[in-house]
Amino acid sequence: LTDVGSVRKVNEDSILLCPEKRIWAVADGMGGHDAGDLASQTTIAFLRDVAFVPRMSDYADNVEDALLAANSRLFQLGVDRTIVAGSTVVVLVAHERHCLVMWAGDSRLYRWRQGNFEQITRDHSHVEDLVDLGHITAEEAEFHPQANVITRAVGAAAHLFLEMELLDVRDGDSFLLCSDGLYKELSFEEIAAVMASFPPSRASRRLIDLA
């Protein structure tokens, strides 16, 4: 689910749900920049057109190629219009007992497994880099004046570097893909409580209502 929220007039988030092709994604147009909604829609459109193939490695290559193509399209658009048309993205691709997460920016993937809730992705952001360097704490990062500065996004630069992680899948696992519109409004504990109490079909609605 996606919702414009109570702050912006335009919804800059776009989503993809294609269980028949075993792919899910969330893209978030870069706030404060022109064409953020177009950037996220373009990113999702390229992913929607990915051809499904049963071999995981080949399918992952197709998904990566689609994101690189979206990056080229959006970067050229930005050059032509003298704007920044960028979008974060997080993609989940499932295959039997494994899944692959692929992302750029600060949209996230979380996993609920047997009573444990954890963040799988690492934000590509300025404050995350400061945390890694030990300059600030994770708590300080939440209220840092540059908390919204991301270091990777589809369309923001001529070359896109995606991060990927292969995960195992167990019975009962639930995965949450979301933009910062969710986790900047709700605490980690609040999100975990919803994931513990509701099935996925209801959890997404509950999380948006709380945010």
pLDDT tens for residues 42-84? 999 999 999 999 999 999 999 999 999 999 999 999 999 888 8
pLDDT of 201 strictly over 80: yes
- Considering only CA atoms, which of 185, 176, 171 is closest in space to residue 204? 176
Tokens at 90, concatenated: 């997080």
pLDDT of 197 strictly over 70: yes
* pLDDT tens digits for range 106-149: 999 999 999 999 999 999 987 777 877 777 777 766 766 666 78
- Kindly report the pTM of this predicted structure: 0.92
pLDDT at res. 72 = 97
Please state the rounded mean pLDDT for residues 14-24. Answer: 96
Please state the rounded mean pLDDT for residues 184-204. Answer: 94
pLDDT of 186 strictly over 80: yes
Find the angle CA(207)-CA(153)-CA(119) to the nearest 5 degrees: 40
At 152, the pLDDT band (50, 70, 90 cuts) reads very high
Residues near 69 by Cβ (< 8 Å), separated by ≥ 6?
46
Contact assessment for residue 117 and residue 195, using Cβ atoms and an 8 Å cutoff: yes
